[in-house]
Amino acid sequence: MTCQAAGLGPVTVAYEQQGAGEPLVLLHGVGHHRQAWDAVVPLLADHRHTIAMDLPGFGESPDLDPTVPRDLRTAVAWLSAVLAELGVERPHVVGHSLGGLIALHLGQAGLARSVTALAPAGFWTDAERRHAYAMLAAARHSVRLLPDTAMVRLAHTAAARTALAGTFFGLPDRGPHETLIADLRALRDATAFSATLRAGRAPCLYSGDIPDVPVTIVWGTCDRVLPPRQAARVQAMIPGARLIQLPDCGHVPMNDAPDLVTRVILEATPSAPEEQ
């Protein structure tokens, strides 16, 4: 789908819609793709109309023009145009990592009915950001060095799965091999990866409360990329936010515990009273 976004020109987005009910937008993290939600979408489909999309320069969505600023204001403008083109007004928004940070900004902009942020990026200290970036960069460097055939072969061995996926998953042996392979290819091929990390060095990626929108913050207790202590900083800034911890889950809890993540999302995205 291609739409016009103010100040950005034509924007093309790859997305998938499934299910019925209130609209629920799913946003992935840096180096990931819309298939990050594949394990939970079928569980949500009987209750919500899910819209999973690839952010610019990730998955199958082309990157933005190099002259367009790579900042959160641009992300909000991009998503606002996409939602308008889809005819979706104030959906529930669920985001992971980078997508969680964007979801919080959509809530501030009045574009979300509710916000559920899984390990949202941007609530780090300088040392924590450098740690996260080092882990992400090392993972990307590793998969870019591997020929595709070798990556596929290694993804089918327990030791390699732990080495390749242990950074992101609390339970790297869980989930289909095909999911891990697709995730590694998405990380390898993400054209916006480096530009997004550069933009993330900005000194203040989020500030202010979201008083009129229900906010749920979700964090895996075994997150090695963004340590769960960062959740306290989100709560300090958004005092009304509900915090949920996911035992034994890593940075990508959708893979570790899809049933649990689905329950959390459904509880955090209640139907409007008139539609109950």
Encode pLDDT of 255-276 as tens digits: 999 999 999 999 999 876 544 3
Distance CA 210, CA 206 (A): 11
Taking the domains of the chain in order of start, what are their residue ranges?
A: 2-271
Three-point CA angle 158, 163, 164, nearest 5°: 95
CA neighbor of 28 nearest in space, from 124, 215, 168: 168
Distance CA 14, CA 130 (A): 31
pLDDT digits (tens, 9 = 90+) for 174-228: 778 888 889 999 999 999 999 999 999 998 999 999 999 999 999 999 999 999 9
Classify burial at 264, counting beta carbons within 10 Å of its beta carbon; exposed 0-12, middle 13-18, buried 19 or more. Answer: buried
Q: Quick one: fold of 2-271?
A: Rossmann fold (3.40.50)
How confident is the model over 227-243, as a mean pLDDT?
Answer: 96
Give the tokens for residue 156: 């089918």
Please tell me which residue, 5 or 28, carries the higher pLDDT value.
Answer: 28
